[in-house]
Structure 1
Amino acid sequence: MKKTSIMIAGLTAGLLLAASGIAQAQKLTGAGATFPYPIYAKWFSEYSAAHPGVEINYQSIGSGGGIRQVTAGLVDFGATDGPMTDEQIASSKIKLVHIPTVLGAVVPIFNVSGVGDLKFSPDVLADIFLGKITTWNDGRIAKDNPGVNLPSETINVVHRSDGSGTSYIFTDYLSKVSKDWANGPGKGTALNWPKGIGGKGNEGVAGLVRQLPGAIGYVELIYAMQNHISFGAVKNPAGNWVKGSIAGVTEAASSVKQIPADYRVSITNAPGAQAYPISSFTWLLVPVKAQDAAKGKVIKDFLNWMLTAGENEVSALYYAPLPKELVAKEHVTVNNLQ
């Protein structure tokens, strides 16, 4: 009898351990923004390494694709640099919450013969992408760049071909600084570009600009840094020329005195002496109630890890960490997920 009890106890313990192992062994899928992909790839790899059995597969397909997949319930979470619209939220099959992850900068990259540094006034940048300024030695570009030997090279505009949060950030900015842009193409993750050729993802735009003489495009800061592509300074609302940087993005974020309850906020063209004007949050899109309880538990644990250990790593990849007050608010949101 005693021997039987011991065997039953041992079997019970074994089953509990096995169940625990099954609960921990989870494969999560996500899809969306390319803007934060470098830091997401690092985070997902590190978290999986520290949690045996957990695998997070993230497809960097652009914000538009991420929104479509997560709202249709095809992935466990999505990612976007452009917050979902009210219409997208209302039509989603799944109730989602925006979770800010990091802050970043979209920078104008260029490939101009003999030129390594340029300055762009807001109206000039808009008119280049509108196709109104077509050569690099145009008088308006020259006015902002005295002493720079600008060639008569044709400007080749490069934009995103896919639904893109990076495009949303860039066009949100252009819509604020140019009436012609606001009344024309407008802002969005996907729009009808007045001119240019499209590249898929930040990687595609960076690759085309690097290869194409006279090209100009826009990418998240790390893609310019990693590809050793020149990027320009942009005049901010204070009248200062500012290049994309962690400090400039942080100052832009500090201009927001009250973060909305749903975390959807724009910080482009923010005030501040050294605020970088094309800055933004980026978000994970997470179901309020997970379809799979075990996966939901892993997602909550990952998000809390991200907001603590993960945030300490972002600067090394040229992102800005979230403000501490915002992190505290997000922990509450995460812990209320079901």
Structure 2
Amino acid sequence: MNRTSFRKALAPSVAVLALSVSLTACGAGNEDSGSGSSEGGESSSGLSGTLAGGGASSQEKAQAAWRAGFQDENPDVTINYDPIGSGDGRANFISEAFAFAGTDSALDDDEGELSDAQARCADGNVIQVPAYVSPIAVVYNLPGVDELNLSPETIANIFNGSITTWNDPAIAETNPDADLPDTAITPVHRQDDSGTTENFTAYLAEAGEGAWTEEPDGLWPESLGGEAADGTSGLVGAVSGGEGTIGYADFSAAGDLGVVNVGVGEEFTAPSAEGAAMVVANSPAVEGAPETDMAVELDRTTTESGAYPVLLVSYMIACETYADEAEAELVKEYLTYVVSEEGQQAAADEAGSAPLDPALSEEATSLLENISAG
């Protein structure tokens, strides 16, 4: 199979207004963390049982929509998704605690994760398909400042601790009309192993004009200060609860917080699904990736008008081969729904993500169709 490029891989028309999605079908959606074995009688779809997954907290709203839609069509199935962070999601997938995982940073072999995942999958390859493309918002809480423009270098200097007050000249330069107070800046970061953190620090390292000297990583650098919070909801809560705070989170979770317009070329761009889609559409696939791996190298230094380069591509990981036939069937059917046009639109409506283009959805579906029991 020839791998499809991520170029033009996202739908040009993106739904960004969050619509209400009924979650009544979720039932005990997060009550069971057991394996994906069959339980109870079969529904008219022929599927029944419980499936355990988890990982990226950025996917939390999308997963709620996906679970609701899938369980509505398959009422004898319960899908559990624990938003414990990408790193723990990958670890629990490798240990077989999860049948599938969501991750904002692709499996690679820098720390042996890809090899470990391959070993977990025994008689088949690990599958890695894109499922959720979303901007990362730089969120802040500064009463009286409703709009804020920051360059990549300034953002990096805020989070590395070099800029410590809101009226710093570097902030004032790009916000001449704002009444900036001398309030101390409190950067808030994730304390868990987070794909959002890895993507955010990769952006700072690549676009920050040398201001960020740390290696991109899912764990925040221990040498840097700031306030730590657990998960996306914890970070948003910490920023909301403290005046002068600033952090980073999936755009779907920004709520009523201020959202930074990020410098891109000569412009300042607000986060949007369309802007994130532009970046992904011009980013190449990872060189040398196996046929079952659809990971992409994001272009975080783009200067294209309208592009928003602070983003994540969140993946679903699964095995081609499972020991249990019922588990294999549930994983295949659920993840196929996730990457389908219906599933992608449900995520766009609920979380403002950018739906996969039909060609990319078809490629992901073709990989998922190979899931079976060994």
TM-score (norm 2): 0.80
Distance 1:246 1:125 in 2: 21
What is residue 70 of structure 1 aligned with on the other side? 93
Amino acid at match of 1:54: V
Q: 1:181 to 1:112 in 2, by over 3 A?
A: same
What is residue 361 of structure 2 aligned with on the other side? 327
Q: Whose radius of gyration is greater, 1 or 2?
A: 1
Task: Check conservation: 1:157, 1:197, Cα contact below 8 A.
Answer: yes
Q: How far is the alpha carbon of 1:254 from its aligned partner? A: 1.3
Amino acid at match of 1:126: A
Over residues 23-60 of structure 1, what are the superposed CA-to-partner deviations in whole Å (9 max), with x where a residue is unaligned? 72210000101101101111112211210211101111
Q: 1:89 to 1:142 in 2, by over 3 A?
A: same
Distance 1:117 1:19 in 2: 55
Write out aligned runs for 1:94-133 (5 A). 94-95=120-121, 96-133=126-163
Write out aligned runs for 1:91-240 (5 A). 91-92=116-117, 93-95=119-121, 96-178=126-208, 180=210, 183-184=213-214, 186-193=215-222, 194-224=224-254, 227-236=255-264, 238-240=265-267
Distance 1:56 1:286 in 2: 15
- Tell me how many residue pairs correspond in the alignment: 317
What is residue 105 of structure 2 aligned with on the other side? 82
Distance 1:98 1:182 in 2: 29
Within the alignment, does 1:289 sit opposite 2:321 as a pair?
yes
Distance 1:293 1:111 in 2: 50
Distance 1:77 1:169 in 2: 21
Amino acid at match of 2:278: E
Q: More relative contact order in 1 or in 2 (CA 8 Å, sep 6+)?
A: 2
Q: How far is the alpha carbon of 1:315 from its aligned partner? A: 2.4
Distance 2:137 2:306 in 1: 15
Within the alignment, does 1:55 sit opposite 2:55 as a pair?
no
More helix by proportion, 1 or 2?
A: 1
User: Which is further off, 317-326 or 136-145?
Assistant: 317-326
Write out aligned runs for 1:265-276 (5 A). 265-269=296-300, 271=302, 272-276=304-308
Instruction: Using the aligned pairs only, state the percent identity.
Output: 26
Distance 1:21 1:255 in 2: 43
Coordinate RMSD, CA, aligned: 1.9
What is residue 42 of structure 1 aligned with on the other side? 65
* Structure 1, gaps ≥5 residues long: 1-17
Task: Check conservation: 1:173, 1:268, Cα contact below 8 A.
Answer: no
* Structure 2, gaps ≥5 residues long: 1-39
What is residue 12 of structure 2 aligned with on the other side? none
Distance 1:91 1:54 in 2: 29
Distance 1:288 1:182 in 2: 39
Q: Secondary structure at the match of 1:35?
A: helix
